[in-house]
Structure 1
């Protein structure tokens, strides 16, 4: 169970009313994405809708309501918050915030829904909780990776859609449980490989750590981490799903080359990065060219890896730099996917 969901469940399990606060719609630059949500009680908080003054003002609003006449509190409403001078935030956009008051029955229903998914692995498409508004926060449904609803919700929102959407003609409240995971294969469980896994484990990646040395894989744990001992790691490249990312960090340059060549021969992978110097890159490019790879295939290789300007060689420094680089690649890939989807849907 993730810490965030444990906090939500603990708050819902305590006595007293709770306000479910969610990002129902956004316009322009905003602190959080549609579907982000938090729970506010008179003496507790769980989750976040973006922090800063927006969350501060929302929390004050809820706490004042909970401290007053409970019978006068709307059970459900949506309030628009401009993020300009009024809130002293420079985002410049606006957020429509949904407020849903949860009594004991509604708290139990949401708590049960969160508990049902808390120990499940995160899907690559992300997960959502959905509830038709007409049921007054009573019947939650899980939108998993295979559902059409999850595909729509995770595909991004325009200004005309939000966390309150019409699904099959029914107005539905949608809460984002977790982000979609990007598949990543890390080849090499040495010092840098372990540091990279540790850095990426809390981030939205589905990590496969591959090494031929079984003893190097012992005891490695992490969120969304799969351990794979393989006598021929280069053959595992064929198992990487389209769009998956590759990091090559092995102890053997010959093995690095075989994995690198296998990855570059595929034209459907995402980031292909290899640890090394400019000298190693030049040597590999010559060898790859001698083995029949052309400029397009070779051009997909990133070596050295990491953010330009960070020169530290300590494993944790390399890992932090690579994590930032992969997050940047992931964001660009998601933006491209949303643009492609919008074009195919005839939007824009």
Structure 2
């Protein structure tokens, strides 16, 4: 988990000052990991630190902070004895008052570090070293308290996901994927009228021939091809195979996929390269309802992300 500057900026713009409640430390079993956060304002909240009594109490304290105009609070909350939750561990919550001015102070940073309430004195050398590595080497530390300072990286989209088609399945995938961290969503179709209201943070692209936009996609992007036209789907697959991608999923039946394999081979693509396309997308066992397809697609992409991160970690150490 990490500090999502864009999400916090949207909340501040919409609601004025907000309290960001972040799990700063975890001991034993807990509902969420360090870095999980929620935003709280006078009449609402978004995000989650695990739900239940913990979240209810934390939200109530956050609203009291807003009412009293307090800047920050650090609370260690034993989940069993204090909150009657069965996790059995304890979490330390850092609640901070954020507004436009404070957001401007951390804009452009890769890692946010600040003293927790009760800590005085200059920045410790250990924290300074973390910031130096972040700026010089791109090092992304895990969210944690270091010698009385809370350190957490700013959210960086780890993966670009391009969704080709704004029909029922495309809309369902946007709904499911948008709240998930680590993805930047780009949504493409032929006309503005084909889109519903495009959610905040989703990049919309419109072209009479969407396949012409393939050259704009990062070569390590993930793609989901699910337009209204088989001809357009084929053209997109053809161009993406030449362009390069991290993953490519195509909506369709076994019959459609058999025809596409034949036509892509006739266009000069090698069988092993064509096999890099996933068709059908999602989990067929979940059914064909758009939301069911979207749930299966999200699971696929999360598992790919997890597997990639695990491989990276194993290679590093």
- TM exceeding 0.5: yes
Match of 2:266 in 1: 290
Q: Does 1:336 align with 2:307?
A: yes
Query: Residues 205-247 of structure 1, C-alpha deviation per residue, up to 9 Å, x if partnerless?
Result: 4222223x33545764222222223344334223322432111
**So what's the TM-score if we normalise by structure 1?**
0.62
SS at match of 1:152: coil
CA distance in 2, matches of 1:243, 1:137: 44
TM-score (norm 2): 0.67
Counterparts of 2:156 and 2:28 in 1: how far apart (Å)?
20
Flag the 1:113–1:149 CA change in 2: closer, same or farther, 3 A: farther
1:263 correspondence with 2:240: yes
Q: Which runs of 5+ in 1 are unaligned?
A: 13-19, 67-73
Residue 11 of structure 2: aligned partner: 5
CA change 1:323–1:136 in 2 (3 A) is farther
Give distance in 1, aligned partners of 2:25 and 2:193.
47
State the alpha-carbon separation in 2 of the partners of residues 215 and 87 from structure 1.
Answer: 48
SS in 2 for 1:309: helix
How far did residue 203 of structure 1 move?
A: 4.2
Separation (CA, whole Å) in 2 of partners of 1:261 and 1:88: 53
**1:1-348 to 2 correspondences below 5 Å:** 5-6=11-12, 9-10=16-17, 21-26=21-26, 30-38=30-38, 46=45, 48-55=48-55, 76=74, 87-89=85-87, 94-99=89-94, 107=97, 110-112=98-100, 116=104, 129-133=112-116, 136=119, 152-153=140-141, 157=142, 162-164=143-145, 166=146, 172-174=149-151, 180=157, 182-204=159-181, 205-211=183-189, 213-214=190-191, 216-217=193-194, 220-265=197-242, 268-270=245-247, 272-312=248-288, 317-318=289-290, 320-346=291-317
Equivalent residues of 1:201, 1:223 under 8 A apart: no
Cα RMSD of the aligned pairs, angstroms, is 4.7
CA distance in 1, matches of 2:274, 2:286: 24
